[in-house]
Amino acid sequence: MQKIIVIAGPTASGKTELAIELAKKIGGEIINADSRSIYIGMDIGTGKPTLEERQGVPHHLFDIITPDQQFSVAEYKKLAEKKIKEIQERGKTPILVGGTGLYIDSVVYGYELPEIAPDYTLRKELEERSEEDLYAELAEVDPETAEKIDPKNKRRIIRALEIYYGTGRSKITQEKRKKLLENVLYFAIDIPRETLYQRINERVDKWIKEGFVEEVKKLLEKYPLDSPGMSGIGYKQIGLHLTSQISKEEATSKFKQGDRNLAKRQLTWFKRNKDIIWVKGLKDISAIFK
């Protein structure tokens, strides 16, 4: 069977660079598995590789929706599976790259996801409430799902409530996960946490110098701060600064802290997966292919 390769890991761990080097070596094409890089116009603050950085390697599922649009795991799974098939038909190797574990796992474990259409009336009502209030409600009606969701991830909390009220059943119990596909090599980058946190802090400072504040300003001219895409780490904090709610220094500090917290959650997600092969770089992966 044709291989499908996954390069996963926490934010700022070097996934993009490693994946591009691997793709050049084996004739691969990259499929985005980052929930923020799907948004058009969100470039600097997502670490989206530039055309030059891609070094001629084809990249897919970047820039597919605008920041004011909703996007589900089920939609991602459908698009990713289509791209995988197209890449394999060209005789190339698909490489899923990103830190959104749920996106990756929905594909490589063949998730069966709840089929329920969005209820925009309910969503609007729920959006007006705080994350804490919504999470408390989810914990009461569907505690099993609440245990698996980040209390700060408002979109996922709302989706879980939407599924519960639309079906009367827990979101988690409707998501069926199968065994890892036999043709998948699931890698994640092993990096010391202290090094990772330092890289995050330095990267945020670099992005600010490269014009991230201006990027957010342009986005706010088109989309409100409470848009799905604008809720992302960094965009939310700088957005609060640009709307005169916090200082630039506080926004930058909160951005760094938010990314460090995200990295911690991502590591927790990937560390519990016994199918993952932890690597430090291309040399480790190359040794496995020999």
**For 49-79, what is each residue's pLDDT tens digit?**
999 999 999 999 999 999 999 888 889 999 9
Question: Where does the chain show beta strands of DSSP type E?
Answer: 4-8, 28-32, 59-60, 93-98, 184-189, 277-279
Is the per-residue pLDDT at 212 higher than 90? yes
Burial of 236 (0-12, 13-18, 19+ CB in 10 A): middle
SS3 34: coil
Is the per-residue pLDDT at 1 higher than 90? no
pLDDT for the residue 139: 93
pLDDT for the residue 121: 87
- Given the structure tokens 């890449």, which residue do they identify? 87
End-to-end CA distance of the chain: 17
Q: Average of pLDDT values for 275-287? A: 91
pLDDT for the residue 290: 60
Query: Residues 6 or more apart from 177 whose CB is under 8 A from it?
Result: 105, 109, 110, 111
CA quadruple 243, 245, 246, 247: dihedral sign: positive
**CA nearest 119: which of 169, 170, 165, 180?**
165
Burial of 115 (0-12, 13-18, 19+ CB in 10 A): exposed
Is the per-residue pLDDT at 113 higher than 90? no
Measured CA to CA in angstroms, residue 152 lies from 133, 142, 223 at distances of 11, 17, 21
Q: Average of pLDDT values for 254-282? A: 95
Is the per-residue pLDDT at 170 higher than 90? no
**CA nearest 163: which of 126, 133, 131?**
126
Given pLDDT bands bounded at 50, 70 and 90, which one contains residue 83?
Answer: very high
Q: Quote the crossing angle between the two packed helices 248-271 and 193-209, to the nearest 10°.
A: 140
Q: What gap in Å lies between CA 187 and CA 22, rounded to an integer? A: 12
Q: Average of pLDDT values for 158-181? A: 85
Given pLDDT bands bounded at 50, 70 and 90, which one contains residue 149?
Answer: confident
Instruction: Name all domains of the chain by residue range, CATH numbers in brackets.
Output: 4-113+177-192+271-289 (3.40.50.300), 120-174 (1.10.20.140), 193-264 (1.10.287.890)
Which of 134-148, 209-223, 237-251 has the weakest average pLDDT? 134-148
